[in-house]
Amino acid sequence: MLVGLDEPDDAAVWQLDEEKALVITTDFFTPVVDDPYDYGAIAAANSLSDVYAMGGRPFLALNIAALPPELPTETLTEIIRGGAEKAREAGVVIAGGHTIQDKEPKYGLVAIGFVHPRNFLRKSGASPGDQLILTKPLGFGTTTTALKRGLVCEEHIGEAVEWMKKLNRQASEIAQQVGLTTATDITGYSLLGHAWEIASLSGVGLRLNFEAIPFIPGAKEYAAQFIFPGGAFDNRSYFQAHVRFDAKLSEAEQMLLFDPQTSGGLLFAVPPSRLRAFEQAAQQLSQPYWIIGEVTSSEIIEVI
């Protein structure tokens, strides 16, 4: 066991031999959007993301579903089809799974991938001076909450859905190509929560530049109305002791960084010697990325 409960990471890693290790993870959740196909595709992309966050290449998955029996067959079919087609896009075979009945729909995957046992990404290993790179914008939690409250603009939710369905495969491959070692994906614990995991496991601090952090259109508008899922407040309660905000940032702006993300992007700590190679590879492949801050020696997250 290379990665397990002793030092929690995005997935477990089990070494098979000198050249190959298994990456194993699972995730599932209730619907975040109304369209069942999009829900299935987002859930699959989210489940596969933890394999990519470890630098792995997923190849096999199992469905996990809890579905109300009164839902129309067409709706259930679309959820599973969305997951299956996203898995196919990732080059992953869904080889079965398990389904039970429940009052509220829940869907996701057990995902299994391969990675080299001496060349995988993990949350520890960041060093002062490393640049922090994010590969998807934020704002999915506040936007999908606005959807549930009937307050969302169709264009805003449409863009959120496209980002949430986007696989983290290409960003992970670039990280492997340029020799990065430190990464995580931004999901339910929010940017600040997952960033703190990197900081605490690496024994470092982080400095984030709020103006450099990308948000999807509409996110700041919904935040200004204080439309957040309950998880955002849980994240603030749990992680705020590790964060120091610039006094100029409003409470709504601060809350955006505690906003839980579904199928968010990858966060990399990139040493200065590898930054140019990362940027060149990302530009050649049209991979979005934003430099949002740097690693420090302060042992706290500063948001300026």
Reported confidence tier of residue 299, pLDDT bands at 50, 70, 90: confident
Is residue 239 within 8 Å of residue 189, measured between CB atoms? yes
Does 185 score more than 90 pLDDT? Answer: yes
Residue pair 11/122 in contact (Cβ under 8 Å)? The answer is no
What is the Cα–Cα distance from 181 to 123, expressed in whole angstroms? 8
Separation CA 266–CA 55 (nearest Å): 11
pLDDT of residue 63: 98
Please give the share of the chain, as a percent, with pLDDT higher than 70.
100
Strands 301-303 and 243-245: parallel
Residue 277, token pair as written in the block: 């190679």
Amino acid 4: pLDDT = 87
| For the chain, percent of residues with pLDDT exceeding 90 | 97
Measuring CA to CA, which residue among 68, 66, 39, 167 is closest to residue 111? 167
pLDDT at residue 254 tops 90: yes
**Contact between residue 45 and residue 166 where contact means Cβ atoms under 8 Å apart:** yes
Mean pLDDT of 245-272: 98
Q: What is the DSSP string of 102-159?
A: -SS-EEEEEEEEEE-TTS--BS----TTPEEEESS-B-HHHHHHHHHTT---HHHHHH
Q: Domain 131-303: give its CATH superfamily.
A: PurM-like C-terminal domain (3.90.650.10)
Buried b (16+ CB within 10 A) or exposed e, 97-131: beeeeeeebbbbbbbbbbbebeebbbbbbbeeebb
Cα 284 from Cα 278, distance rounded (Å): 10
Angle, CA 235 vertex, CA 226 and CA 222 arms, to 5°: 20
**Mean pLDDT of the 121-128 span:** 96
**Sequence spans of domains, the chain:** 12-115, 131-303
CA–CA distance, 12 with 5 (Å, rounded to integer): 8
State the Cα–Cα distance between residues 194 and 235, nearest whole angstrom. 10
pLDDT in tens, 4-41: 887 778 899 999 999 999 999 999 999 999 999 999 99
Question: Which token pair is 93?
Answer: 């075979």
CATH code at 12-115? 3.30.1330.10
- Mean pLDDT of the chain, nearest integer: 97
* pLDDT (mean) for 257-272: 98
Q: Report whether pLDDT(220) > 90.
A: yes
Q: Using CA atoms, how far apart are residues 159 and 295, in angstroms rounded to an integer?
A: 30
Tokens 């200004």 found at = 224
Each residue's pLDDT tens digit, 38-84: 999 999 999 999 999 999 999 999 999 999 999 999 999 999 999 99
